[in-house]
């Protein structure tokens, strides 16, 4: 079965770079895009770029892996009960993408029997491909990467994220306590990129009170393969319903963030 996983991992790396060229072209000509708000979400934008990139990915997968399941942000799920299932975010960071900021990417993950076994995150603006296959380490382009050697929130930058799907009270106490611990944070609008940055040693942690699986799965594998820790996102039907995400570069940082989160949700 390892050969089948590797086949999908290698295919993912080529596919994400291929669609990355198309996404970058959309980005450089974004003034021509039609922008819509997703139903009920005043800050959740979608464009023809998101839909086109997902359609290309879905078509390529149907052609090359016709029996695999699929879950995409824009088109929903199909045959997710299959042993292999692809989980896709065609453009993570749509708002930065549409506003001309550089914090967006394409995320492709592969599940095998409900376990994440392959993850790729491609940042076309900076030509950075973060990729990992289970039990094979994590990489940025051709270089092996690992998480930062941090034991305190003072030892680096946190990533934070939030959406209007949740009440601010599920987020602001965490932010406050990170600051009280002497930590500092960024929010760039792309959870997938911030998770990849943990794997690459650029951030020491990430928290968001609710997020979808397609935003996180590739990043979760990258972090675990790079030596970090994440919560069990799959519990409580995280695949379809989403979950909170807590990720860290080390056990010490994870435990500290978990304590902070537990205080916030009491």
**Nearest residue to 253 (alpha-carbon basis) of 235, 219, 227:** 227
Strands 157-160 and 205-211: parallel
Residue ranges of the alpha helices (H) in the chain?
A: 2-28, 48-64, 94-99, 172-180, 191-199, 213-225, 238-241, 251-265
Annotation: binding site for Mg(2+) = 73, 89, 91-92, 215
- Dihedral sign, Cα of residue 237, residue 261, residue 72, residue 226: negative
Which residue positions form the known binding site? 73, 89, 91-92, 215
Residue burial 102-135, b: 16+ Cβ < 10 Å; e: rest: bbbbbbbbbbbeeebbbbbbbbbbeebbbbbbbe
Tell me which residue of 226, 230, 224, 229 sits closest to 211, measured CA to CA.
230
Angular region, 135: left φ>0, alpha ψ -120 to 50, beta rest: left
Say if CB 81 and CB 71 are below 8 A apart. no
d(CA 205, CA 156): 9
Tokens 């916030």 -> residue: 264
- Tokens encoding 18: 């291929």
Nearest in space to 220 (alpha carbons), one of 236, 237, 238:
238
């Amino acid at each position: 079965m390892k050969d089948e996983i590797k086949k999908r991992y290698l295919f993912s790396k080529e596919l994400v770079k291929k669609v990355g060229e198309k996404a970058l072209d959309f980005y450089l000509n974004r003034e021509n895009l039609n922008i819509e708000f997703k139903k009920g979400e005043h800050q959740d934008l979608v464009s023809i770029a998101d839909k086109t990139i997902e359609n290309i990915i879905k078509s390529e997968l149907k052609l090359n892996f016709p029996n695999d399941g699929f879950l995409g942000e824009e088109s929903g799920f199909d045959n997710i009960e299959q042993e292999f299932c692809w989980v896709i975010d065609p453009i993570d960071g749509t708002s930065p993408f549409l506003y001309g900021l550089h914090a967006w990417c394409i995320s492709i993950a592969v599940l095998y029997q409900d376990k994440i076994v392959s993850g790729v995150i491609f940042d076309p603006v900076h030509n950075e491909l973060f990729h990992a296959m289970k039990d094979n380490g994590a990489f940025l382009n051709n270089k092996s990467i690992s998480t930062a050697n941090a034991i305190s929130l003072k030892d680096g930058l946190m990533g934070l994220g939030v959406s209007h799907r949740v009440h601010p009270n599920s987020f602001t106490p965490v932010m406050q306590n990170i600051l009280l611990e002497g930590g500092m944070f960024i929010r760039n609008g792309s959870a997938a990129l911030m998770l990849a940055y943990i794997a690459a040693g650029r951030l020491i942690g990430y928290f968001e009170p609710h997020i979808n699986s397609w935003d996180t799965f590739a990043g979760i594998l990258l972090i675990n393969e790079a030596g970090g820790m994440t919560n069990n996102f799959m519990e409580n039907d995280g695949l379809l319903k989403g979950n909170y995400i807590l990720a860290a570069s080390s056990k010490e940082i994870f435990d500290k963030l978990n304590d902070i989160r537990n205080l916030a949700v009491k």
